[in-house]
Structure formats: C-alpha cells, structure tokens
Amino acid sequence: MSLFEPEDEPRDIEFDKDDKVRLFETQQRETEGGRGYLKKFLPVAIVAIIIIAGIIWLMQPGIGDAVKPPKEVEDAVNDYMLAKEHRSIREITFYKCDGYYWVKILSEPRSSVASLDAPENQFRLSVKTADAKAIDITTLPLPDHADDVPCKAS
C-alpha cells in the first residue's frame, strides 16, 4: 500500500458539537486560574508587607538609645568642645532623647591628670537640633556614677 493510495475504509469520524464548546471552556478556565492565583497571592503579599513594615518600625531607635547623629551635629559638638571647653574629643556617644541629643564625651587627658577616666576628662552635653543642625549646645554637670543615665534630667 502506498502513501498516495486512498484508504479502503472511509473515516466516519464526526465532530461532536460539544468539542467546540469545550475549547472555549478550557480558555475560560485558564483565565480564571490566573485570577485565582492573584486572589491567593495578593493577601499573602499584603500581610508580608505589613510584617516587614512592623519590623522596621520596631527597629527604630527609642529614647535613650545610642545613635549616629547627622554630620553637622557631630561637627558642631566638636567645635563647641574646642571653643568653650578647650578640650579635644577622644570618645563620643550620642543618645536620642525627646527632642534633643544627650552626649557622653571622654576627652583627651591633660598632662596633669594621669587617669583617662577621671571626672576632669568627662563631659555631658545637651544638644538641641533643628533641621539636622545643632542650635543649642549646653554643658551639663557631671552626674554621679549611679545617675549617669542618658536623657535623665540633670
């Protein structure tokens, strides 16, 4: 039998009219499937965004936490120490308070003071800021060791 010869048996295959309808049902199910995934994924994505935003909000520094201030504030404190107290800074720590920074400074010791931790080498400052610039810097009295807590009113 050759490929070009007609077949002996005629094909009596009739197309079912429902087959045409099923084609469109499949098309409709595919588009509904995409919407179904979107309906399942969207609430999960919203919950994930809310959780991430909550974690970021909880990680923000609170009152009394050590922070890194803007460069302008750091420079203003350094200039203040050199101009008003005539001391250079060895170590400095800024603490976030309600509307101001509380600053703990350990200055370079003078030759007359042998101990680095001597009270003469320690300073506490209050730095009020506006627009990331220091507007009021005040030297606070050095508190007792037990009362040396950031943001505590002196």
Tens of pLDDT, residue by residue over 43-90, are 999 999 999 999 999 998 888 888 998 899 899 999 999 998 888 888
Q: Which of 70, 65, 124 is nearest to 96 (CA)?
A: 65
Q: What is the pLDDT of residue 11?
A: 57
Task: Give residue 67's identity as a one-letter amino acid code.
Answer: V
Domain boundary assignment for the chain? 16-60, 66-140
Indicate if the pLDDT at residue 18 is higher than 70. no
Whole-prediction pTM: 0.64
Q: What is the pLDDT of residue 149?
A: 83
Question: Residue 131 and residue 102: Cα distance in Å, rounded?
Answer: 17
Architecture of domain 66-140 in this structure: Roll (3.10)
Task: Give residue 36's identity as a one-letter amino acid code.
Answer: G
* Contact in structure between 89 and 78 (CB atoms under 8 Å): yes
Task: Give residue 3's identity as a one-letter amino acid code.
Answer: L
For residue 135, give every residue at least 6 positions away whose Cβ sits within 8 Å of its Cβ, in sequence order, or none. 128, 129
Q: Which of 101, 44, 36, 109 is nearest to 67 (CA)?
A: 101
Indicate if the pLDDT at residue 19 is higher than 70. no
Tens-place pLDDT, residues 92-123: 999 998 888 999 998 887 776 567 677 778 88
Work out the end-to-end distance of the chain between its first and last CA atoms, rounded to an integer number of angstroms. Answer: 110
Please, is 96 exposed, middle or buried when counting C-beta atoms within 10 Å of its C-beta (0-12, 13-18, 19+)? buried
* Contact in structure between 77 and 83 (CB atoms under 8 Å): no
Q: What is the pLDDT of residue 114?
A: 61
Pairwise pLDDT comparison (15 vs 41), residue with the higher score: 41
Q: What is the pLDDT of residue 16?
A: 58
Q: What is the pLDDT of residue 44?
A: 93
